Chains A and B, each alone.
Chain A
């Protein structure tokens, strides 16, 4: 016993060092499993308040730029609206049947999206997995696994929520892939190569599919993102000699460096869809 106490006293520093390192690695391992990193994330209250205070100051310097981006988005939405409402049905051959009020009871909405605006109060583009903090949380209806969009394209996914803040894993991460499609509907998955905040990679597109520089890449309805949101435009095409598939390098539609406002998108039918998909997977 005495020897044991002497041993502990002799190597106390080393033992404490090892204990602390083990605690650190347990924390790292828990985070990499992508669950339960609620305690040590910038969505917690102290870090959230510090970031909020900084954002209150920095906010004013970006007003002009934000105004411009909102104007551009308005123009884009107005154009989309004009395309739908501006069809002259007398001259055009498109036949449209009006839905009467009686029918609306039997209409099933398989996807129903609620958009909530939020301000970005912390953002990073330099790490392996980049996180964004926003000033909306559980009090405002934000939940885990909601999609996050910007005015121009995809941003990421909500991964942890506190009362007034939420952390978002941005698309700039090496953990997850994002389901994507080309203009003609060819499916693929978008990844990110670390180090370049403007470049995304779309892999495994067969060589037969013709793609051109400047083509758009959209989200699909397979993931939790709403379909047909712009991910990026093709910037460079490379052919993988080994298995003869094309690798497309995309210029991301969202500028992650000066993100200011994002929309948190809730799909109200996601719950039901996920339950069905999970039960199918279990039954198999």
Chain B
């Protein structure tokens, strides 16, 4: 399968999972009825995280912009998702360069994944970008720092849950044979 087709399909699948399933899950981190904000996990930044290594920053940012705008259209939050996603798309190459032992050009036709990075570096990579994404997203949505405890709690709980869902996605949609090797 060509790499463009593959990524386009992944784009559709991730958008559909996010919109049709995850947006319907409203989570509370603890079971008590009030006192903690409700939130939904976001896995759509995963599309940016999984684009091939040699994708240029320009293409990454344009992809992030389109992805964010699509999410904004579905969730009625004009521009908030897009700005957070463009930011992580801009930072992605630098984070990868810092984490990987070799230069990015030396991974031809490969995408970041558990297979070629290992669990720990991949999780550090995705956790870092997801936390940045959520921090930007919730700060813009709340648009004030007067309630900073609430904001931090929301960011932390939300990123942790999003990461759990991203791991679940990876376990579901990665070929098992390649995962074992």
B19 touches A16 (CB 8 A): no
- Kindly specify which of B67-75, B99-107, B108-116 makes contact with the partner chain: B67-75
- One digit per residue, 1 when the CB lies within 8 angstroms of any chain A CB and 0 when it does not, for chain B 140-164 equals 1110000000100000000000000
With A31-B78, A40-B72, A47-B73 known as contacts, the answer to whether A21 contacts B86 (CB < 8 A) is yes
A127 to B76 CA separation, bound complex (whole angstroms): 10
A152 to B32 CA separation, bound complex (whole angstroms): 26
B38 touches A54 (CB 8 A): no
B38 — which chain A residues lie within 8 A by C-beta?
125-126, 195-197
- One digit per residue, 1 when the CB lies within 8 angstroms of any chain B CB and 0 when it does not, for chain A 3-32 equals 000000000110011001101111110110
Among A13, A28, A167, the most chain B Cβ lie within 10 Å of the Cβ of A28
Q: How far is the CB of A252 from chain B (nearest CB, A)?
A: 13
- Kindly specify which of B46-54, B57-65, B119-127, B168-176 makes contact with the partner chain: B57-65
- One digit per residue, 1 when the CB lies within 8 angstroms of any chain B CB and 0 when it does not, for chain A 42-83 equals 101011001000100000000000000000000000000000
A199 — which chain B residues lie within 8 A by C-beta?
34
A20 — which chain B residues lie within 8 A by C-beta?
61, 65, 82-83, 86
A41 to B77 CA separation, bound complex (whole angstroms): 8
- In the complex, how many residues of chain B place their beta carbon closer than 8 angstroms to a beta carbon of chain A? 34
A41 — which chain B residues lie within 8 A by C-beta?
73, 76, 78
Q: How far is the CB of A82 from chain B (nearest CB, A)?
A: 37
B14 — which chain A residues lie within 8 A by C-beta?
none
A47 to B150 CA separation, bound complex (whole angstroms): 31
A25 — which chain B residues lie within 8 A by C-beta?
79, 83
B73 touches A42 (CB 8 A): yes
A125 touches B74 (CB 8 A): no
Check B165 for interface membership: any CB of A closer than 8 A: no
- One digit per residue, 1 when the CB lies within 8 angstroms of any chain A CB and 0 when it does not, for chain B 1-29 equals 00000000000000000011001001000
A26 to B140 CA separation, bound complex (whole angstroms): 13
Check A255 for interface membership: any CB of B closer than 8 A: no
Check A204 for interface membership: any CB of B closer than 8 A: no
A50 — which chain B residues lie within 8 A by C-beta?
19-20, 74
B40 — which chain A residues lie within 8 A by C-beta?
126
A54 to B143 CA separation, bound complex (whole angstroms): 32
A46 to B71 CA separation, bound complex (whole angstroms): 12
A28 to B136 CA separation, bound complex (whole angstroms): 13
Contact of A24 among B20, B68, B141 (CB under 8 A): B68
A226 to B39 CA separation, bound complex (whole angstroms): 32
Q: How far is the CB of B21 from chain A (nearest CB, A)?
A: 10
Contact of B83 among A16, A24, A167 (CB under 8 A): A24
Check A128 for interface membership: any CB of B closer than 8 A: yes
Check A203 for interface membership: any CB of B closer than 8 A: no
Contact of A30 among B58, B68, B78, B150 (CB under 8 A): B78
A257 — which chain B residues lie within 8 A by C-beta?
26
B141 — which chain A residues lie within 8 A by C-beta?
127-128
B74 — which chain A residues lie within 8 A by C-beta?
42, 47, 50
A21 touches B87 (CB 8 A): yes
Which residues of B pack against A, CB within 8 Å? 19-20, 23, 26, 34, 36-40, 57-58, 61, 65, 68-69, 72-80, 82-83, 86-87, 90, 140-142, 150
Can you show 24 pairs from A to B with CB atoms below 8 A apart?
A13-B90, A17-B61, A17-B87, A21-B86, A23-B65, A24-B80, A27-B72, A27-B78, A28-B80, A30-B78, A31-B78, A37-B78, A40-B69, A40-B72, A40-B79, A42-B75, A47-B73, A47-B74, A50-B20, A124-B75, A128-B141, A128-B142, A195-B36, A195-B38
Which residues of A pack against B, CB within 8 Å? 12-13, 16-17, 20-21, 23-28, 30-31, 37, 40-42, 44, 46-47, 50, 54, 124-128, 131, 167, 194-197, 199, 257
